[in-house]
Structure 1
Amino acid sequence: MEPFWERAYLDDEVETFGKPSQEVIDVSIQLNENSKILDLGCGDGRHAIYLARLGHLVDAIDISTAGIDKINRVKKKLNLKNLNASVGDATKFEFNCTYDLIISHGLFHFIERNNWSNIIERMKEGTQKGGYNIIVVFTDEVEIPEDLKPYVKGIFHEGEIKKIYFDWSIEMYRSYQFEDEHDNNIRHCHAVNKIVAKNV
């Protein structure tokens, strides 16, 4: 069975996961011009495209070919030469430079726990002093929706992500539940932890 987002990625008019999240907008205001940004698990680019349009230098990585193809179509349309979008597995991503901001928005619960733990440590090491990490994950406070169970492999415990960033400045942390409905009338209820942390 193919996940619902793969079909949505084929339509350039569909915002699969909505507009850029407020925490990404808020952090973008704090960044210097031409900041170096990594969007790890970028989907179809709601954050990567927004940040590139602000003039930042954005690397966008996702395992979905359809998602990356969609970003590159939009990139061409908007002439975003500062956006580099490529198909890649986050578990194998090599941090060959340091970034001012690294985003992982809704990725890690799809990765085995031992793998995402390693990636987060590499994210921290790959962030400049004064730089930010933004991470959003599903937690085990509610049952995983049936259609997502085949894909969710590394669910977080409530508050776990905050403990991982104990040695950084926690700029924002939220724990909440929400319901959403996607274009194919699939409804989900999620428990979420969201963190913005600064490398001080």
Structure 2
Amino acid sequence: MAVDLNQKYGLNPAHSEVVSACQVVPPGAALDMGCSSGRNALYLGQRGFVVTAVDTNPNALGHLQFIIDQEGLDAVTPRQYDIGTARLDADYDFIVCTVTLMFIDPSRVDAVLADMRQHTRAGGYNLIVCAMDTPDYPCPMNFPFTFGPGQLDAAYQGWERTKYNEDVGTMHNGARLRFATLLARKPA
């Protein structure tokens, strides 16, 4: 078994939904949106994906580049990019966007989702995990954006749902809130 690079470099483990999705999604070209220091990108890169890891934070990307250089990884390419611009310039087999959308300008979320769908190859997958704010479970965190009930599901009409739920979960900081979780496959 390969060395766990996240553990080796003091990063949080890959998101549990990314780990789970790798049981379904075959390796290919992947995009990690809002990669931070690369916990998901490194995980995917070690599992045969060729990963473009994007974030707006140059310090986080610098840390990821340091790990890539130390480990001689050629499967992960960090790139500075503001996902709120919704201007992807390549197509992917797997786009991962976990706990990222809630930090962008709410007026840009629909454009970002449309851009993700457009730049997913036929038969490819999108994985999204994002905070929700619902009447029965108000979000305890002051995120710029949260999904309402059914909102993420509606954005992926026509795609095959591999997984969809709006369950209560725990963030890495211990906060409990409802998340919209979607793993969907674009029609081939």
Superposition TM-score, scaled by structure 1 size: 0.80
Q: Look up the match of 1:63.
A: 56
Deviation string for 1:100-139 (max 9, x for gaps)?
0001101111122220110110110100111000000100
1:180 Cα shift?
4.4
Aligned to 1:194, which of 139, 159, 181? 181
Question: Which amino acid letter does the alignment assign opposite residue 62 of structure 1?
Answer: D
Q: Look up the match of 1:27.
A: 21
Q: Look up the match of 2:72.
A: 79
Structural RMSD (CA): 2.0
Give distance in 2, aligned partners of 1:164 and 1:144. Answer: 21
Structure 2 segments unaligned to the other structure (5+ residues): 1-7
1:88 Cα shift?
1.8
Alignment partner of 2:22: what SS?
Answer: helix
Equivalent runs, 1:1-200 vs 2, <5 Å: 13-15=9-11, 18-33=12-27, 35-141=28-134, 142-145=137-140, 148-149=141-142, 152-180=143-171, 182=173, 187-200=174-187
Change (3 A) 1:129 1:180: closer
Superposition TM-score, scaled by structure 2 size: 0.85
The number of aligned residues is 178
Question: Which amino acid letter does the alignment assign opposite residue 149 of structure 2?
Answer: E
Deviation string for 1:141-186 (max 9, x for gaps)?
34444xx52xx2121102210111111001001221133463xxxx
Change (3 A) 1:26 1:84: same
1:44 Cα shift?
1.6
Deviation string for 1:2-37 (max 9, x for gaps)?
xxxxxxxxxx7433xx3223432343344445x111
Change (3 A) 1:144 1:22: closer
Alignment partner of 2:130: what SS?
Answer: strand
Alignment partner of 1:154: what SS?
Answer: coil
Give distance in 1, aligned partners of 2:159 and 2:23. Answer: 20
Fraction of identical pairs, as percent: 21
Q: Look up the match of 2:3.
A: none
